[in-house]
Structure 1
Amino acid sequence: MTRRFSETRRFLALYWPHLAADRLRRTNGAADSLPNALLVFTAKQRGAMRIVATCERARGLAGLTLADARAREPDLVAIDADPTGDLHMLERIADGCDRYTPMVALDSDAGVTLDVTGCGDAEAIADDAATRLAAAGWQVRHALAGTPEAAQALARYQTAPAADEAAAVRRLPIAALEADDETELALRRAGLKTIGDLAARPSAPLAARFGSDLTDRLARLLGQSDSRITPRRAPPALVFERRFAEPIARTEYALEMLGELAAEAEVALAERHMGGRRYAARFYRSDGVARDLSVEASLPLRGAKDVMRLFGERLDALADPIDPGFGFDLIRLAVPLLEPMAPTQLQLEGGAVAEGELAALIDRLSARAGKGKFRRLRPRESHIPEQAVLALPAIDAPQPADWDAPEVGEPPSRPIHLFDPPQMIDVIAEVPDGPPHRFRWRRGVHEVTRFEGPERIAAQWWKRDDNQGLTRDYYRVEDARGRRFWIFRHGLYGAERVAPGWYMHGLFA
């Protein structure tokens, strides 16, 4: 007996047959003046402008060249296709669909598939999703099935939901296999026009003639082979949510509910002896729009007050405040990233306290200005000076590593500030390959009174064919006014094919 995986899993597929036209009517006010216009969307394919999408009234023109379509319908309105805009809109819809399940995936160019297994009544979820989308002005088809391929095919090719899923799949045309044109033509010529026709044939001859991909796809459509979706986002470690029978229209009250969710997260994290490095809030509006708000912490964090303080900083920095519109009917708080949070032992000199205060300051500043605005320097193993330091976002940087301490009584070997890139200077030396005697930098002349060097830094051997891969001779120099510089000669006289040049690389003070 063939095992049917469809008996244990449920997938909901949503399909927008006229996504481009619906998006245009929703986002372009001018389209409202032409509610009955024959809208078509064109793109250049095979050397001609072809219709790649249409509105409902013009669906019979899909696939034609624009010239042939105008010959049939002179009054049609042709618009350049915008696949990027369609994809962004589909992603926004998918964001709203994860109110039902975190297992949401995009399906080709105009569909979304949800794994609703274990999420409650699948039929109720499907009806709710379809009702919400229809109320927002979308023409959407939906279908439930035991595999994502079957659900997607039913949503695309059946005109109305069927009571018998297996029979409905078998009635689907062979186009649901999404095979290439040559394979589909060969199947039709053989008299195989539906999925049921193929299912009645032995799989071995089909695989020998058309390849195993065809029979594998057929098995997934029929629910005889296990199949899953790859969600757009990995499910978070912890999720907390509030649902409201009546949408709430006050942002202040929504933030109070978010604070309650943060308190629940604090309890759950304390039970696990963990803290959150990232907190993501999502506010679902009743019209299907979802607004995201996230904060990050440089150290594991679980206190509800601390988390809400970061959310407050983030809200204050928003140029576009969160608009409740017709009200929020669902608020969700996720903790995607957890880390162990061991008890902190207080040191007599207050070191642990100071470290925590610094982390809190970094968190607040990053929440307000953005995580990339503040950086922390970390040493890296490299003999190339500009590659010996990594500038990482302060909120993401690992614990600071120990820097090499200078020898007692010796000046530092590396300057406090490095120029990136090094700045070219004019140098006068007593001999061509000798130390600098005088140099000009930024329209000023500096007389060298003291120098130390050279410190020779060899090039990386895999960059010897590049001008950047020349040998460097570094000098620590002091001018007549006591200012100290770090300069280098790029290249060696007589040893390189490129004439050496001098550069200012850093300042000691």
Structure 2
Amino acid sequence: MTDRARRLGAVDPGAPLAAVTRVDNAERLVGLDAAAARLGLTVGLSLADARARHPALVVVEANPAEEARLLERICDWCSRYTPLAALDRPDGLMLDISGVAHLFGGEAGLIEDARGRLAAQGLTVLAGVGSNPRAAWALARFSAQKVAPDDLTEKAFAKLFHDLPLAALGLDPKTVADMARAGLRRIGDVAMRPRAPITARFGPLPVARLDELRGLARSSIAPRFPPPDFLAERRFASPIATLAAIELSLRKLADDLVVLLERQAKGARRVELSLYRVDGAVRRVAVGASRPVNEARAIVRLFAERLASPEEDAIDAGFGVDLMRLACLVAEPLAPSQSEIERAHEAERARALSQLIDRLSARLGARAVTRREPVEAHLPERAEAATPAIAGEGRGGGILLPLAGGGDRRSGSDEGESAAPSRPLRLFVRPEPIEAMAEVPDGPPLRFRWRRVLHDVAAIEGPERIAPPWWRRDGGPTRDYFRAEDSQGRRFWLYREGLLGRETQRAKWFMHGVFG
């Protein structure tokens, strides 16, 4: 809280600083810098008492929204150490550094590197490393020893944690105060006593938090961004600041990423480039592909198109970029190569179309280039949607769904490829009214007139009843669909709207699609 105010440059660097907010109709301290803490001030103290003790105290109003955004930016920056970076609101972060600490000279080296870089950005850091999130949280905030040993025996645990206050378990102030009145002030006071009386008096939370601290209960973090499937990165001893150097590094990263993809015979569907600047800013640029790609040139070309888009800001390296990371966020198996001569031309056309879609999507945005895709819907005319062309294949399952306004859909049914579809593959955007003649009012039509042409019905199947969706007010009347064939062999899909005697007194007929 106080670091954000100092970063804005509106506070004397040497003055003690505190953040305040209104709690129970009183202004109270909710954040302190190191200088204010050395004066003996504590969080929760009223502003009147703090000013009475130290009139020179500088106060700023706490802004939770801005502080949350600053914490998110710091979390993004900390993903330079590990992709598994999570928020620990309101004022902390959790990093899973398993398997990466050796890159920075061990846990202590990683802490010093992060502390030094963040201090250069005007941020004060408390850090701790433990075998679980609860232990790391306790060491960072309450212990002089910041790194827990790997082999944490019972004796080592007692030496490291038993003298820490109960607040190190993450308990609320009321519970801590209640337990202090009962003589329980340290973690060792709880660890050395029977569990049943403590649980009966203070609830299960203190014992559960103690188990988390010991590593007996499973605890995890929720990363701000999901870990990528494949990742390539480059760290620079001297930050790079020119666009040419960034483009050259991008090409090398693309080569490294393709090697990782080829090992598992996969292609990238979504790729993200992250640029970590020395001033703490992180720039992320993501591109997508309509089909899996594992060619470095294709990946670089997508980013070139994306950065050339008028909606995309130019890359600003600031004082330099010291880390570049190219991550494959979504990967899919590559389709088997088609070696048949008769299919070579079709494969080349498909690749050219895919590259065109990728370039247009990167330049204009994914939402500007769409494809029609079948979706599950109650009414036939709503059984399609426009989705980004790079989003992948259709989401529909094995049900044959017609597409309004044209198009086709492969059927996944067990009837075989030669089975006649139960519904036409082409629907009109809006059903067209027709004049129909039937033997009885609620029977199938004997003949009908559509677009001024009279058709005599030679064969007819149906009805297929589609009741109005009860969950929608505008669902409309019931429909009875028929598959009709005229004397010329032409097949149609038409329906009668409304149930006679209940929903309407005179049925209306509509043509919704044609077969073939």
Please report the TM-score for the alignment, with normalisation by the length of structure 2: 0.73
2:80 to 79, 99, 103: 99
Question: Cα deviation per residue 1:261-289 (whole Å; 9 max; x = unaligned)?
Answer: 11122223223222111222211112222
1:327 matched to 2:328? The reply is: no
> Aligned letter for 2:4?
R
Question: Cα deviation per residue 1:360-390 (whole Å; 9 max; x = unaligned)?
Answer: 1111111112222211112345561332213
CA contact (8 A) 2:468 2:478 kept: no
- Are the structure 2 counterparts of residues 473 and 298 from structure 1 closer, same or farther at C-alpha, using a change threshold of 3 Å? same
Q: State the SS of the aligned residue for 1:495.
A: coil
Distance in 1 separating the partners of 2:505 and 2:13? 68
Q: State the SS of the aligned residue for 1:236.
A: coil
1:123 matched to 2:130? The reply is: no
Question: Cα deviation per residue 1:183-209 (whole Å; 9 max; x = unaligned)?
Answer: 323211111111122222233432343
Partner in structure 1 of residue 21 of structure 2? 42
How does 1:275-290 map onto structure 2 within 5 Å?
A: 275-290=267-282
Please report the TM-score for the alignment, with normalisation by the length of structure 1: 0.74
> Aligned letter for 1:202?
P
Partner in structure 2 of residue 14 of structure 1? none
TM-superposed deviation, 1:309: 0.2
Instruction: Using the TM superposition, name which of 33-42 and 332-341 deviates more.
Output: 33-42
1:81 matched to 2:63? The reply is: yes
1:138 matched to 2:123? The reply is: yes
2:409 to 401, 422, 435: 401
How does 1:364-383 map onto structure 2 within 5 Å?
A: 364-380=359-375, 382=377
1:351 matched to 2:316? The reply is: no
TM-superposed deviation, 1:459: 5.5
Question: Cα deviation per residue 1:401-446 (whole Å; 9 max; x = unaligned)?
Answer: 33899xx9xxx8955545xxx9xx9xxxxxxx99xxxxxxxxxxxx
Partner in structure 2 of residue 337 of structure 1? 330
TM-superposed deviation, 1:122: 0.8
Question: Cα deviation per residue 1:40-87 (whole Å; 9 max; x = unaligned)?
Answer: 3435x55x365473342666474366787788869865536233x322
CA contact (8 A) 1:40 1:79 kept: yes
CA contact (8 A) 1:169 1:222 kept: no
Distance in 1 separating the partners of 2:163 and 2:292? 55
1:236 matched to 2:236? The reply is: no
What is the total number of aligned residue pairs between the two structures? 455
- Are the structure 2 counterparts of residues 497 and 450 from structure 1 closer, same or farther at C-alpha, using a change threshold of 3 Å? closer
1:468 matched to 2:468? The reply is: no
- Are the structure 2 counterparts of residues 62 and 377 from structure 1 closer, same or farther at C-alpha, using a change threshold of 3 Å? same
Distance in 2 separating the partners of 1:260 and 1:111? 35
Instruction: Using the TM superposition, name which of 211-220 and 307-316 deviates more.
Output: 211-220
Question: Cα deviation per residue 1:136-193 (whole Å; 9 max; x = unaligned)?
Answer: 0012211222321121122223477589984342222112223344432321111111
CA contact (8 A) 1:456 1:471 kept: no
Q: Where in structure 1 are there 5+ consecutive unaligned residues? A: 1-17, 426-432, 435-447, 476-485
CA contact (8 A) 1:157 1:172 kept: yes
CA contact (8 A) 1:490 1:502 kept: yes
Distance in 1 separating the partners of 2:64 and 2:510? 49
Distance in 1 separating the partners of 2:454 and 2:248? 64
- Are the structure 2 counterparts of residues 75 and 118 from structure 1 closer, same or farther at C-alpha, using a change threshold of 3 Å? closer
1:157 matched to 2:142? The reply is: yes
TM-superposed deviation, 1:230: 3.2
Partner in structure 2 of residue 248 of structure 1? 240
Distance in 1 separating the partners of 2:15 and 2:117? 23
Q: State the SS of the aligned residue for 1:356.
A: helix
Q: State the SS of the aligned residue for 1:113.
A: strand
Q: State the SS of the aligned residue for 2:342.
A: coil
Distance in 2 separating the partners of 1:505 and 1:307? 44
Question: Cα deviation per residue 1:264-322 (whole Å; 9 max; x = unaligned)?
Answer: 22223223222111222211112222211221111110110011000101111253222
Partner in structure 1 of residue 71 of structure 2? 90
Distance in 1 separating the partners of 2:382 and 2:472? 19
1:185 to 144, 162, 177: 177
Q: State the SS of the aligned residue for 2:331.
A: strand
Question: Cα deviation per residue 1:222-247 (whole Å; 9 max; x = unaligned)?
Answer: 45555443333332222111111111
Partner in structure 1 of residue 357 of structure 2? 362
CA contact (8 A) 1:70 1:76 kept: no
Partner in structure 1 of residue 446 of structure 2? none
Distance in 2 separating the partners of 1:205 and 1:464? 54
CA contact (8 A) 2:20 2:47 kept: no
